[in-house]
Amino acid sequence: MKKALLPLAIAAVMPMSAFAVGPIDGQIYGKISVTLDSVDDGTDSVTEVNSNASRIGVKGKTELSKGLYAIYKAEFEIYVDDGDSGKTADGHDEFEQRNIYVGLTGSAGTVIVGKHDTPAKLSQKKIDLFGDLSGDIKHTFEGENRVSNMVMYTTPKMSGFSASLMAVASEGDDVDQDGNDDDGLDGLSYALSYSVDNVYVALSGDQDIDNQDLMRLVAQYSMGDLQVGAMYQTSEDNADSTAKDEDGYFLSAKYKLGNGFTVKGQYGEIEDSQNQKEEETFSLGLDYKLAKKTKIFAYYTENTDTASGTEAEEEVFGVGMEHKF
């Protein structure tokens, strides 16, 4: 058959309004976020173009039987600014693995295997209003981990309740820092959450993840155009005997002003009282939605790290654009 006639032949067999029937069971998604930042570390001020966890992913499902699905996701970070994460010597790492898994989901819950953010990290939900930017709580708080070689089970939602448990294969590493290599599922992360209407609360924690044991309590509440969030966290470093018992809290709020504008701010502080170490993060920002999936924004962040009488401070002012697809 001549290629030119092929579309006509297909049109003759299928109604023009039918689509996406067949073996393609995936969806491409992602976001591009770039900022123009002025970074001042107290001695120098530098202007930077930064890609903020821009990513592309594909996810999908296949129904194995009634209500039981095979699921997968493969997500990669892309470096929109220069194509380089700065994490490898040769600089050629245009794609960096993020969350990647395969698993099963159904009425009994979800099991996934691969590489993924821990339940403790994801339990923060949306309280970090400057995620992926300089004000991201990962710059101040422990527990923001993505781990390899993990198996995770998440219960179905039951009257708003849900729980997740992740086990991490140590594969011969000494994950609990007791001087002996571990060879089982030694790292654990969990989250227990309740979410209904405008209320979200979660209790989560890690054991022997990134050499840390930690516990965090998260709450988020939305009331009309106002959303507030809070987190309390306590953690212990198993690898460094001089760093113990870090405690801290985090508060955030955002308010939709109307006409596409949202103003937001957050503050967090964590303290190691034994070593007189203290870290603070403070951010203010204004978002303007150009469309449902597109926004421009401006923000200011101040991160302070105080240890033994010395203080390191970083100030960042940035403007940027984010587009989701």
Partner 1 sequence: MKHLLIATVCLFASGLLNAETNCEDAVDMADSLDFHAMHVECSKDPVTLYDPESKSNFFGKTGKVVTAYADQVKTPAALTSTAKAATAMSADAASVAEVAQSNAGVTFNIREPFTLTGGPQSALNGLYVQMAQYCSAGWSKKKEWVVAAETGYLLHYQFTCAEQ
Site for partner 1 in 40-99 (CB under 8 A): 55, 57, 59-66, 68-71, 73, 75, 99
Q: Interface with partner 1 includes 281 (CB under 8 A)?
A: no
Residue 213: CB minimum distance to partner 1, A: 13
Question: Residue 238 and residue 219: Cα distance in Å, rounded?
Answer: 27
Residue 241: CB minimum distance to partner 1, A: 24
Question: Residue 191 and residue 205: Cα distance in Å, rounded?
Answer: 7
Question: Residue 269 and residue 169: Cα distance in Å, rounded?
Answer: 32
> Could you tell me which residues come within 8 angstroms of residue 134 by beta carbon, excluding any fewer than 6 positions away?
37, 39, 283, 301, 303, 314, 316, 318
Comparison of 92 and 292: residue with beta carbon closer to partner 1: 292
Binding mask 164-183 for partner 1 (x = CB under 8 A): x-------------------
Between the alpha carbon of residue 39 and those of residues 128, 175, 316, 317, the distances in Å are 20, 35, 5, 7
Task: Please give the residues from 137 up to 156 whose contact with partner 1 meets the rule CB under 8 A.
Answer: 154, 156
Q: Interface with partner 1 includes 260 (CB under 8 A)?
A: no
Q: What is the size of the binding site for partner 1 (CB under 8 A)? A: 72
Task: Please give the residues from 96 up to 125 whose contact with partner 1 meets the rule CB under 8 A.
Answer: 99, 103, 105-106, 109-110, 112, 117, 119, 122-123, 125
Binding mask 200-229 for partner 1 (x = CB under 8 A): -x-x-----------x-x------------
Q: Considering only 14-22, 34-42, 265-273, 299-307, which stretch makes contact with partner 1 by CB under 8 A?
A: 14-22
Q: Interface with partner 1 includes 1 (CB under 8 A)?
A: no
3 state DSSP class of 93: coil
> Could you tell me which residues come within 8 angstroms of residue 138 by beta carbon, excluding any fewer than 6 positions away?
144
Structure tokens at 89: 């010597």
Residue 299: CB minimum distance to partner 1, A: 19
Q: Interface with partner 1 includes 294 (CB under 8 A)?
A: no
Q: Interface with partner 1 includes 4 (CB under 8 A)?
A: no
Comparison of 146 and 277: residue with beta carbon closer to partner 1: 146
Q: Interface with partner 1 includes 304 (CB under 8 A)?
A: no
Q: Interface with partner 1 includes 307 (CB under 8 A)?
A: no
Instruction: Residue 141: name the closest of 153, 155, 127, 161 by CA.
Output: 127
Between the alpha carbon of residue 321 and those of residues 15, 95, 116, 299, the distances in Å are 40, 21, 26, 11
Instruction: Residue 261: name the closest of 297, 294, 300 by CA.
Output: 297
Contact between 73 and 27 (Cβ < 8 Å): no
Residue 208: CB minimum distance to partner 1, A: 17
Q: Interface with partner 1 includes 254 (CB under 8 A)?
A: no
> Would strands 26-40 and 146-154 be described as parallel, antiparallel, or unpaired?
unpaired
Residue 9: CB minimum distance to partner 1, A: 9
Q: Interface with partner 1 includes 313 (CB under 8 A)?
A: no
Contact between 181 and 173 (Cβ < 8 Å): yes
Comparison of 12 and 46: residue with beta carbon closer to partner 1: 12
Binding residue for partner 1, selected from 35, 134, 140, 162, defined by CB under 8 A: 162
The DSSP symbol for 240 reads -
Comparison of 204 and 266: residue with beta carbon closer to partner 1: 204
